Structure 1
Amino acid sequence: MSFDVRAGELFGFVGSNGAGKTTAMRIALGVLAADSGEVRWDGRPITLETRRRIGYMPEERGLYPRMKVAEQLVYLARLHGMGAAEAQRSVKWWTERLDVATRRDDEVQKLSLGNQQRVQLAAALVHDPDILVLDEPFSGLDPVAVDVMSNVLRDKAAHGVPVVFSSHQLDLVERLCDRVGIVRKGQMVACGTVDELRAGGAPRLVVDAPRASADWAATLPGVKVLEHKGTRTELELGEGADDQEVLRAALATGPVREFAPRRPSLTELFRTVVTQGGVR
């Protein structure tokens, strides 16, 4: 698996369960040893010192349930090399930014799952890392918490921090990320912006023709009917298909209320790449 995450970039790491996302992240963090290859930061192999500059949020959350929030975050910041006063200031800042300041003196186990998630993000950020690696950071969050976390990640990227995170919420990945990498069976099978990934697929059309029958486009050369629902038909244009011929056929049935290209969502691209091979 080969890929890069650039400075100031939000990189979405997506794949089916068991595809290898968490394993790749653990190798980057040194939790697992790679059989071969290497992980580099700024052109040099990652060392223990480099890893102290990484903010990591594991999928299996790593907080001590009976430890108080502030006490725990200060402890983690000190492990990353911060002094006591600096750690206290950072904990105050991040708990306020993530809206858990009123829970600083509570044990983690007394927090809701959403607030535990916010504290876990604070643990990844409290030492002001140069790199962020987050495994399913949006899992279980309500829409308000998703917005808070999204804004934090955008802000870190805007300050030049490379951010890589995995998620099964593909609509969120599509909205948030600069580039996306799709993993299948331990390999990076597609990587690029959503627009670049879309460019590799066959063009699609949506046609709204109220008087057309369900099979009006079935015999058009190179045209595949993906869905016919009500008055709307979604078509995929194969090699040699002529969109103007499709338009003429639609007009032959009567009035056409809509005739427009349809860009596949990241969810559809993901399904194509994972199940059918797709394009790099």
Structure 2
Amino acid sequence: MLEVKNLHKSFGDLVAVDDVSFTIEPGQIMGLIGQNGSGKTTIFRMILDFLTPEGNGQVLWKGQSMNKQVYNVVGYLPEERGLYDKMTIEDQIIYFALLRGMKRSEIIDRIDDWMQRFQVKGSRKDKVKTLSKGNQQKVQLIATLIHEPELIILDEPFSGLDPVNADLLKDGIRYLSQKGSSIIFSSHNMSNVEEICDKLLMIHNGEQRLYGTLKEVRESYGRIKLYIEGGTWTQDQLANLDGVTEVKPLSQGGYLLHLANPEVGANLYETLTQGRYLPVFNQQPPTLEEIFKMEAGGHHG
């Protein structure tokens, strides 16, 4: 288990990280979200002991401080990509895996499986410089994950990947999660976080703004969105109902109503149905993307 406690870090007058704490259990996937410059990469660097936390900040792996012995069970993909382009795919992967304590024979046995898992176009003997940018990124991901690390830290791993290749990466992350890896990744794509994360952490201007499971975070905002289909109500009529703050027509039919508070929904149900069948009446909390915009913009609710 990874335990991060009370992380602080300043650079001169800039407070980059201010009292951030979280835990990741074995097999859990956590998404780290926040705007550019919010402190995500600084958090990663403190976890990896590249930067030293200030004050009483601590990073513990299985109850012990991070040390050189732990590094062999860590897989880290930095935001700044870097490969030796004159090396072959095989030599590149072997080089990084040997640094993580794997045996050469074990690495060679796994390369084809991981190349197939990520659908790398090319053979293991091709030089990295002959690959497309996307396939180079896949090779770096393989070099990060091939030793099946117990702790995986991925800084913007989906950056530059098309939807098909992003799905391959998600499958790879799930595979290692099922094998017990503790995984944390940063992303600007909220759908990636919603799709595969057990929990999330949002950082804004270095401060911990949101933390918990996706359901906990969304439900904390209340079910203030109401989807309806059917009936004879017009947009203007819906907008004039008590407790409705905004009405938007949906391209697939029906309307999305924004409510002043979740309790409005119960009264609206009686008003909108009037004893008649209404095919869709679905009250939901805001999406993660909407919550992100609220928090990044400084508005809650």
State the partner residue of 1:178: 198
TM-aligned CA deviation for residue 213 of structure 1: 3.6
2:123 to 95, 98, 103: 103
State the partner residue of 2:259: 237
TM alignment of 1:210-225, pairs within 5 A: 211-225=232-246
Q: Which runs of 5+ in 1 are unaligned?
A: none
1:23 to 32, 35, 42: 42
What TM-score, normalized by structure 2, do the two folds share?
0.82
TM alignment of 1:67-146, pairs within 5 A: 67-100=87-120, 102-146=122-166
Matches of 1:217 and 1:121, distance apart in 2: 50
State the partner residue of 1:202: 222
TM-aligned CA deviation for residue 119 of structure 1: 0.5
Cα distance change, pair 79–256 in 1 and its aligned pair in 2 (3 A) = closer
Deviates more, 1:122-131 or 1:257-266: 257-266
Which amino acid in structure 2 is aligned with residue 106 of structure 1? D
Higher strand content, 1 or 2: 2
Matches of 1:10 and 1:148, distance apart in 2: 16
- Residues 211-235 of structure 1 show CA distances to partners (whole Å, capped at 9, x for unaligned) of 4343324444433225345873323
State the partner residue of 1:246: 268
Matches of 2:105 and 2:262, distance apart in 1: 68
SS at match of 1:64: coil
Matches of 1:84 and 1:260, distance apart in 2: 55
Name the structure, 1 or 2, with higher relative contact order (CA <8 Å, separation 6+): 1
Please tell me whether the aligned partners of residues 209 and 250 of structure 1 are also in contact (alpha carbons under 8 angstroms): no
TM-aligned CA deviation for residue 251 of structure 1: 5.0
Matches of 1:43 and 1:161, distance apart in 2: 16
TM-aligned CA deviation for residue 240 of structure 1: 8.1
SS at match of 1:52: helix
Please tell me whether the aligned partners of residues 27 and 179 of structure 2 are also in contact (alpha carbons under 8 angstroms): yes
TM-aligned CA deviation for residue 169 of structure 1: 1.6
State the partner residue of 2:27: 8
Deviates more, 1:215-224 or 1:145-154: 215-224
TM-aligned CA deviation for residue 206 of structure 1: 1.9
Matches of 2:148 and 2:296, distance apart in 1: 36
SS at match of 1:77: helix
- Residues 39-98 of structure 1 show CA distances to partners (whole Å, capped at 9, x for unaligned) of 110111111221232001111112122222111111111112223333333334433433
State the partner residue of 1:155: 175
Q: CA RMSD, aligned part only?
A: 2.5
Identical residues among aligned pairs (%) = 34
TM-aligned CA deviation for residue 277 of structure 1: 5.0
Cα distance change, pair 240–229 in 1 and its aligned pair in 2 (3 A) = closer
Matches of 2:103 and 2:239, distance apart in 1: 70
State the partner residue of 1:191: 211
State the partner residue of 1:260: 282
Deviates more, 1:139-148 or 1:212-221: 212-221
Deviates more, 1:149-158 or 1:26-35: 26-35
Please tell me whether the aligned partners of residues 54 and 129 of structure 1 are also in contact (alpha carbons under 8 angstroms): yes
Please tell me whether the aligned partners of residues 30 and 199 of structure 2 are also in contact (alpha carbons under 8 angstroms): yes
Cα distance change, pair 156–183 in 1 and its aligned pair in 2 (3 A) = same
Q: Across the two proteins, how many residue pairs are aligned to each other? A: 278
TM-aligned CA deviation for residue 114 of structure 1: 1.5
